[in-house]
Structure 1
Amino acid sequence: MLFCLIFFVFLLNNFNELYMETSLHLRILLTFFMLWLANFISVENQQLIGFVGIALLGIVHGANDLTIGQHLKGGVATSWEVKLLMKYISIVLGGMVVFTLLPSYGLLLFILLSGYHFGNQHWTLAMPSSVQRFWMLFQGSYGLLVLGILFCFHEKEVQAIVETITQKSYPELWVHEITLILGVLVLGLGSFLAQQSEAFRASIGRNLFYLIVFTLIFYHAGLIWGFSMYFVLWHSVPSIQEQIRFLYGKENVHSWWSYFKSSALYWSLAVGTMAIAYWAIANDTVFKALFFSLMAAITFPHTLIIAQMKRAMQKKVGP
């Protein structure tokens, strides 16, 4: 997205001022501007711009997984790097095999992992060890609730993509009922965790506001336009900032440049594959199915790496 690039350039030139609150304000302004802009862009162009936005800033946030894995181990041995690369590729290929041979199970696993990954990104807190299982369940439920809201507003399109991936017919996906259950689960687990952690209580208002913003995005925007806005502005950009702080200690122009240099190769491979698939496949629904299948294969190892990174960061902070 052109405006995401403008946002990125603005970040690079204003690091001293653009920390938590200012960055949030910019994302909110850009979100509503893009919702307004959608009124003047055809659905086809919205989808194209959405895919470009995901390629430019969405995919790049997962292109540094190997660097993060190396940093977690604290070593730079070449043999270890090769082992990590082979393990990462094996997981990606394994995910693609699952999607090919058992697409229904692969899709379900992708949705569950994505839900946990999104919730883990929004709720980054150091919680007492006694509530870790409830905490992980809450994070997963919150992320799945976000996806559920998106699916509720675009159920027919989601259904078409699911049927294309799984090669099965689903008269009813039960997304409204499942989303309602997730909402109740988030409310119940949130009430319990609020009694256990002051930091959690302090985060409730902000994340409730985020949920309202996400709902407005998904309601007013198409499936790909809405998902790309959420994925780029509200997931990928904050994740990149967090990864930079983990890898380089602080955010500045040099650390952002180092981050993008180290991710360039893997980002280029992923974007190149997506671009070839987009121009080679004429069927819109088939491309969306392939796109989400590729995203799923990459998501499997990325979720594991980022979860380990967050645990390492939280250990430094303490409960």
Structure 2
Amino acid sequence: MRHPVPLLNIILTGSVILAVGLSFLAPETMEWIAPWFLFFTVFVIGIPHGAVDHVVAADLYGMRQRLTDHLLFYSSYLLVMLLVGLLWFFYPLAGMILFLLISVYHFGQADMVALVQTGSPFSGLFSWSRGLMIIAAIIFADPYVCLPIIEAAIRMSPEWFSFLYHHSTIILITAIAQYFVLVLLVLSSGALNVSRLRFLGDSLLLTALLVLTHPLIGFALYFALWHSMGHVQEMIAFFRDNGRHVTIWSFYRMAIPFTLVSLFGLAVLFFVQRTFSVGNEMISLLFILISVLTLPHMIIVDRMYARKTD
């Protein structure tokens, strides 16, 4: 498993086993709770993990309490968000492509740093391979759930997606196969930050989650328990290395203001959707919000990882 804290790995493993079991025993119930569970996990765990970027940036860039330092950071951060938002508004297909590419890289990179030795022959390739498997499994394990969400977000007719519907199984198998080929190569190289058993178990558990559960449940659990909680631990360690005494509770207190801003952003997107008939799905709007927040967050995280390896 990717977490250094045993309790988190127990929670992660237990959550996956429970989700997979309920997906077989009570599929209709899981389908009903999926959207609510997604919104809950995104706003309780997912969004807060990126809501302390301003504090991370203060340590990364040596920002003091001067107003000019903070104005420069916030204006740059908001400008990136605005540009991504405008791309979605005027060219939604381009916005979706950018979001998928960013997600593949960001998810894969975060997991790579925890599992594989940075700088090893397979580290860069592993980032893209794992990220591709994650995104492909979320979309194509049950294309009749996720492709309509994408259709609503990019405002294109279903006819454009006929190829993806018809070849979803092949795409899914190919994405999983390429990942496990690389898993075997990494295992043979031994360039790991965890034991071989934990590395293989993590890969199998994640694949089972994404393939066997409802796509929104699978994404929610991955985003919350793998990705976001992993980042929270890394950021707490980063703060402590820079002389800040941060606990999980103080981390969440720091995250509250910008988490509330994100909620306001979702409300604005909902208003735009209602006013201009931009799409017809709140879930699509949630993913647009995540994409708007992801690029500037990824830039900060990239710099944080670079600092650790300097």
The TM-score with structure 1 as length reference comes to: 0.79
Determine the structure 2 residue equivalent to 1:127: 118
Determine the structure 1 residue equivalent to 2:286: 291
In structure 1, the gaps of 5 or more residues are 1-17
Going from structure 1 to structure 2, the CA distance change for 1:262 and 1:179 (only over 3 Å counts) comes to: same
Q: Is 1:222 the equivalent of 2:214?
A: yes
State the Cα RMSD in Å. 3.1
How much does 1:20 deviate?
Answer: 2.6
Matched position secondary structure for 1:128: coil
Q: How does 1:221-260 map to 2 (within 5 A)?
A: 221-249=213-241, 254-260=246-252
Q: Is 1:304 the equivalent of 2:299?
A: yes
Q: Residues 35 and 216 of structure 2 are in contact (CA less than 8 Å); yes or no, is this contact kept in structure 1?
A: yes
Q: Residues 266 and 286 of structure 2 are in contact (CA less than 8 Å); yes or no, is this contact kept in structure 1?
A: yes
Q: Residues 103 and 165 of structure 1 are in contact (CA less than 8 Å); yes or no, is this contact kept in structure 2?
A: yes
Match of 1:63 among 51, 56, 60: 51
Determine the structure 1 residue equivalent to 2:154: 166
Q: Is 1:83 the equivalent of 2:72?
A: yes
Going from structure 1 to structure 2, the CA distance change for 1:264 and 1:25 (only over 3 Å counts) comes to: same
Q: Is 1:21 the equivalent of 2:6?
A: yes
CA offsets per residue over residues 251-303 of structure 1, 9 Å max, x none? Answer: x9952233222221111111244367679979996212111111111111111
How much does 1:234 deviate?
Answer: 1.5
Q: How does 1:96-245 map to 2 (within 5 A)?
A: 96-124=85-113, 125-128=116-119, 131=121, 135-168=123-156, 169-173=160-164, 174-183=167-176, 185-187=178-180, 198-200=190-192, 205-245=197-237
Q: Residues 194 and 201 of structure 1 are in contact (CA less than 8 Å); yes or no, is this contact kept in structure 2?
A: no
Going from structure 1 to structure 2, the CA distance change for 1:143 and 1:69 (only over 3 Å counts) comes to: same
Determine the structure 2 residue equivalent to 1:15: none
Cα distance between partner residues in 2 of 1:296 and 1:81: 23
User: Structure 1: which amino acid aligns with 2:81?
Assistant: V
Q: Residues 20 and 212 of structure 2 are in contact (CA less than 8 Å); yes or no, is this contact kept in structure 1?
A: yes
The TM-score with structure 2 as length reference comes to: 0.81
Q: Give the % identical residues.
A: 22
Going from structure 1 to structure 2, the CA distance change for 1:46 and 1:72 (only over 3 Å counts) comes to: same
Going from structure 1 to structure 2, the CA distance change for 1:144 and 1:204 (only over 3 Å counts) comes to: farther
CA offsets per residue over residues 191-223 of structure 1, 9 Å max, x none? Answer: 66667x643385554333222212222233222
